[in-house]
């Protein structure tokens, strides 16, 4: 009898460990797939055709193309989901069209404006040290990275190069207004 009890206990332990392992794996997948690295909007920097690829290299399949129409004033707003090696995973929408299919665009094609003189933080939180861009001329800030709803940006004026995290309340991804 003692041997059967031991066998029964081992089977219970195995079953418990198996259930625990399944719960841990399921929880881990929910974390890795359920959260976005980024939740920001941006704009296409220039007019012309912007190719959106299936993957993060230019030999990849083109899944769609974006083109701001300045005559009809139809501009695309870009939704950024993540950034990886100078590429952004995006979807796009405009007043006339919504493209829900995700794709990858090279970062140099997109940028962000700001409604005021940009304040850039060292880290993506307002408790970190910061610097204000004094000679901001209302041109695009280059996007380098993103975290949650913060954008890491770079801006070049005639003298300085500024880098830092732009808070969500200082971002303007609206091509029709100045966000004031």
Residue 18's pLDDT is what? 47
Residue 81's pLDDT is what? 95
Domain boundaries defined on the chain = 1-35, 40-170
**Helical H segments across 35-141, by residue range:** none
Q: Which candidate, 34, 10, 154, 9, places its Cα nearest to that of 86?
A: 154
- Retrieve residue 120's tokens: 């850039």
- Is the overall model pTM greater than 0.85, yes or no? no
Task: Measure the CA–CA gap between 3 and 111, rounded to whole angstroms.
Answer: 70
Percentages helix, strand, coil for the chain, rounded to the nearest 5? 20, 40, 40
Task: Measure the CA–CA gap between 143 and 149, rounded to whole angstroms.
Answer: 13
| Residues of the chain with confidence (pLDDT) below 50 | 1, 17-35
Task: Measure the CA–CA gap between 109 and 112, rounded to whole angstroms.
Answer: 11
Residue 7, SS3? helix
pLDDT tens profile 14-55: 555 444 434 433 333 333 333 458 999 999 988 788 999 998
43, 110 Cβ separation under 8 angstroms: yes
State the DSSP code for 139.
P
Residue 9's pLDDT is what? 63
DSSP string, 105-156: EEGGGEEEB-SSS-EEESSSSTTS-EEE-TT--SPPEEEEEEEBTEEEEEEE
């Amino acid at each position: 009898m003692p041997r059967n009890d031991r066998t029964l206990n081992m089977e219970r332990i195995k079953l418990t460990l198996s259930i625990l392992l399944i719960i841990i794996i399921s929880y881990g997948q929910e974390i890795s797939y359920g959260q976005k690295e980024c939740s920001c909007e941006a704009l296409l920097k220039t007019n012309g055709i912007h190719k959106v690829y299936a993957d993060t290299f230019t030999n990849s399949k083109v899944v769609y193309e974006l083109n701001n129409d300045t005559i009809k004033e139809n501009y695309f707003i870009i939704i950024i989901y993540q950034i990886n090696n100078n590429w952004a995973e995006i979807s796009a929408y405009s007043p006339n069209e919504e493209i829900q299919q995700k794709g990858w665009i090279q970062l140099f094609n997109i940028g962000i404006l700001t409604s005021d003189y940009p304040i850039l933080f060292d880290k993506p939180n307002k408790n970190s040290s910061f610097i204000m861009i004094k000679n901001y001329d209302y041109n695009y800030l280059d996007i380098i990275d993103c975290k949650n709803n913060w954008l890491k940006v770079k801006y070049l004026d005639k003298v300085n190069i500024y880098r830092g995290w732009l808070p969500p309340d200082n971002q303007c991804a609206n091509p029709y207004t100045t966000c004031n």
